[in-house]
Amino acid sequence: MTASPLITHNAGEPPLPLVPHPVSLHTIRFTGSGSEYFRIWIVNLLLMLVTLGLYYPWAKVRKLQYFYGNTVVISHPLAFHGNPKQMLRGYLLVSLLMVLYAVAGKVSPEAGSVAALILAGIWPALMRASLQFRLAQTSWRGLRFHFNGSLKDAYMVFLKPIVVGIGVGLLSVILAVMLPRALAGVVLGLVMVVGLGSLGPYMLWRLKRYQHQHYALGQLQTSFKAKFGDVLRIFLKTGLLTVAALIGIGVIVAVLAATMGVSLAGQRPDARTLMSWGNVIVGVVAVSYLLITQVIQGPYFSSRMQNLIWTQTGNRLVRFKSHLGWGHMARLSLQNWLLIVLTLGLYWPFAAVALARARLQAIVIHTRQDPDLLLAQASRNTSDATGDLAADLMGIDVGL
């Protein structure tokens, strides 16, 4: 008979045994409503206009407090404790950096390049500070979350893809020199498409791995098991889906052009007639493009990516499963965009609430231990250092 596993504990305190029991499932509920959030959204919008954007930290806090407070996890809502005055410092810092970058670009291309390099050099540190701040200001049942990612790993998220990109460039130069001219073009094209086309998925995978393997509540820290190949497959399938949709648009345009040719056969159409047909074709292309990006491509990519990322996040005691459907996301996206257009943008907060509900309620939490026992031990093992860190952070929040 094996002994019961124990959670780590503070010195001098008896450990609490984790009594094994079957996996229990817990759904996430989102209780917010569009009408409630509309009132918050419209006030935030008006005050941001009046203050020329300076109200943004207060608007962000009000938004996060509403969405977090209506996210119910295992019968208890999340809470956001961010201080707007603290967030204002981070907001002003990031705004100043962006203004300096824009001014430098207008002074000279060289100054713009230097400013871009400086901004890129500090961006990983800003990203890490943002993740630390957001997690440190988020709590569940009174216990703060925290983010354990190191500054070195934050820089490696971006440095490794950059090294890969440089390697692809060097390989292209070597092949161009060594291969016959007739063959070099084909080989170089393949190397550039495969190598550079993989950089985006590679960087996204590294970013999500950095985020999702460093979330923690008490002594419970998540791991992330998704591989680069899993992310790359989603990109490839999205690309193939987009190509198929573009072919469909091409067929529709060809049919319209043929119809126009038949209807105008034997005639000498005036400019107004040609313009009318041109407007029809342009309108069809524009609507088709929106359908591809907002109803086909976007919902497919976001649903598949959420399912992959959250299903591969967790640890031996707590795991997540996401079941977000592409069809449901496509219908929701179509509905949201139609109503946003028809209401001249006033449906936006209702769309945000509907999207949050769909994403959150598609996630199921799998626990192998009693949540009360885990929380009790996590609370005993959490020192005041986490609270001190939350108070000392600059308040940078870049929305990650």
- Residue 385 pLDDT > 50, yes or no? no
In the block, which residue shows the tokens 């649903």?
303
Helix/strand/coil for 215: strand
Each residue's pLDDT tens digit, 322-378: 999 999 999 999 999 999 999 999 999 999 999 999 999 999 999 887 777 777 766
Higher-confidence position of 29 and 199: 29
C-beta of residue 184 within 8 angstroms of C-beta of residue 176: yes
Q: What is the gyration radius of the CA atoms in the chain, in angstroms?
A: 26
Q: What is the model's pLDDT at position 331?
A: 94
Query: Per-residue pLDDT averaged across 194-205, rounded?
Result: 85
Lowest mean pLDDT among 32-46, 170-184, 328-342, 386-400: 386-400
- 4-8, 217-221, 240-244, 361-365: range with highest mean pLDDT: 361-365
- Report in angstroms the alpha-carbon separations of 2 from 5, 18, 19, 20, 22: 9, 13, 12, 11, 17
What pLDDT sits at residue 184? 64
Q: Which residue in the block uniquely carries the two structure tokens 């009132």? A: 39
C-alpha separations of 393 from 60, 89, 135, 386 in Å:
17, 10, 11, 11
Closest residue by Cα to residue 206 from 130, 310, 114, 309: 309
Q: Residue with structure tokens 């308040």?
A: 395
Q: Calculate mean pLDDT across residues 2-29.
A: 57
Give the confidence band of 301 by pLDDT, cuts at 50, 70, 90.
very high
pLDDT, average across residues 194-213: 89
| Residue 103, pLDDT score | 85
pLDDT confidence of residue 58: 95
Count other Cβ atoms within 10 Å, centred on residue 19.
Answer: 10
Q: What is the mean pLDDT of residues 73-91?
A: 90
Per-residue model confidence as pLDDT tens digits over 141-181 = 988 998 999 999 999 999 998 888 888 778 777 776 777 77
pTM above 0.85, yes or no: no
Q: Which of 122-131, 169-178, 181-190 has the highest mean pLDDT?
A: 122-131
Neighbours of 263 (CB within 10 A): 11
Q: Residue 294: enclosing H or E segment and its boundaries?
A: none
In angstroms, the CA 74 to CA 77 distance is 8
Q: In terms of Cα–Cα distance, which of 304, 369, 325 is closest to 21?
A: 369
pLDDT band for position 4 (cuts 50, 70, 90) = very low
Structure confidence at residue 18 (pLDDT): 52
Quickly state the pLDDT bin for 269 (edges 50, 70, 90): low
Q: What's the confidence (pLDDT) of residue 19? A: 54
> What's the order of all strands across the beta sheet hosting 76-80?
220-221, 215-217, 143-147, 138-140, 76-80, 71-73, 24-30, 363-367, 318-322, 313-314, 223-224
Alpha helices, H only, the chain? 34-50, 56-69, 84-107, 109-136, 151-178, 181-197, 199-212, 228-263, 271-290, 298-311, 326-342, 348-360, 371-380, 385-392
The pLDDT score that the predictor gives to residue 6 is: 37
Look at residue 316 in the predicted model and tell me its pLDDT: 86
CA neighbor of 200 nearest in space, from 170, 246, 162, 227: 162
What is the reported pLDDT for 17?
52
Average pLDDT rounded to a whole number, residues 187-194 = 69
Q: What does the pLDDT read at residue 151?
A: 93
pLDDT over 80 at 270, yes or no = no
pLDDT at 11: 41
Q: Indicate left, alpha or beta for 12 from its phi (over 0: left) and psi (-120 to 50: alpha).
A: left
Task: Say if CB 349 and CB 39 are below 8 A apart.
Answer: no
